[in-house]
Amino acid sequence: MSTDFQPNERYQFEAQRLMVEHPPNWHHPNKQIVFDIACPPGSAHGGEIEYTRWLAMALPQTADPAAASSILEERPGFYDYAPVLDPPDAMGWHVNFADPDLFVAYGTSLFAQDEMQVVEHPALGALKEALIARGAAGVTMDSGDPTPVLVQGVERRCMVATEPNSTAGRPSGLYGNQFGRADAGAVRHATIPVIPPTITNLIAIAAPTGGYGRYSTGEIKQVLTTAFTGYR
């Protein structure tokens, strides 16, 4: 457990340079279609992106839910990535329920929550390629322990409609494996550029997989440690 409030890994990238030097690698044509709409030739990518990876932090002995609720605001529903406007110094974070290998399937035909976030924030794909090039760990779990990843300042350049819509050519929607099976025209119709791009901050954490029945004490502790470390 870490007691030093410093990340295990930290990288900062100028977004434009990142996209030029480490362009996303799309392995499926439908992913390329979305990218071409979100980032047409000549696109400028603004700002800086900061990547940090954190070792698991020890849970506190006590917690004060009332104090926490006074500084946090929960917004149920689907991610709309709308900027936080009130109070002015607030910072919005969106959870990425990541694979232990961060963004591992971003370029494939898959289109679940993790892959959707990368497609709508294409610089995340470039970030993955840059981490590989640098030999960085780029993992949200290490030897069974959580190592949450924070990504600040990434542009959301498009939105992709995934709900079923027969008129738009996606009777079964585009979520999950449906995206890879979809007609190219349906994918184009479902992709809407975000102009100007908005800015998203992500907390990438790995959720438990493969379990059933009651949670064990160890599983509960791991879930709490993962969330506590990421948000801390």
**Which residues does the chain have with pLDDT short of 50?**
none
CB–CB of 38/122 below 8 Å? yes
- For residue 139, give the DSSP letter: B
Three-class SS state of 44: coil
Q: In whole angstroms, what is the distance from residue 189 CA to residue 168 CA?
A: 7
Listed in sequence order, the residues at least 6 apart from 93 whose beta carbon sits closer than 8 Å to its beta carbon are 201, 202, 203, 231
Token pair listed for 231:
């948000």
Residue 80, pLDDT score: 84
pLDDT in tens, 169-181: 999 999 999 999 9
| % of the chain exceeding 90 in pLDDT | 78
Residue 2, pLDDT score: 62
Q: What is the pTM of this model?
A: 0.92
φ, ψ dihedrals at 146, nearest 5°: -70, 140
Residue 13, pLDDT score: 98
Q: In whole angstroms, what is the distance from residue 157 CA to residue 108 CA?
A: 19
Token pair listed for 86:
């009130």
CB–CB of 193/39 below 8 Å? no
Q: In whole angstroms, what is the distance from residue 139 CA to residue 4 CA?
A: 19
Q: In whole angstroms, what is the distance from residue 109 CA to residue 120 CA?
A: 15
Listed in sequence order, the residues at least 6 apart from 219 whose beta carbon sits closer than 8 Å to its beta carbon are 208, 211
Token pair listed for 167:
């008129």
Residue 84, pLDDT score: 74
Listed in sequence order, the residues at least 6 apart from 168 whose beta carbon sits closer than 8 Å to its beta carbon are 161, 186, 189, 190
Q: What's the distance, Cα to Cα, between the start and end of the chain in Å?
A: 14
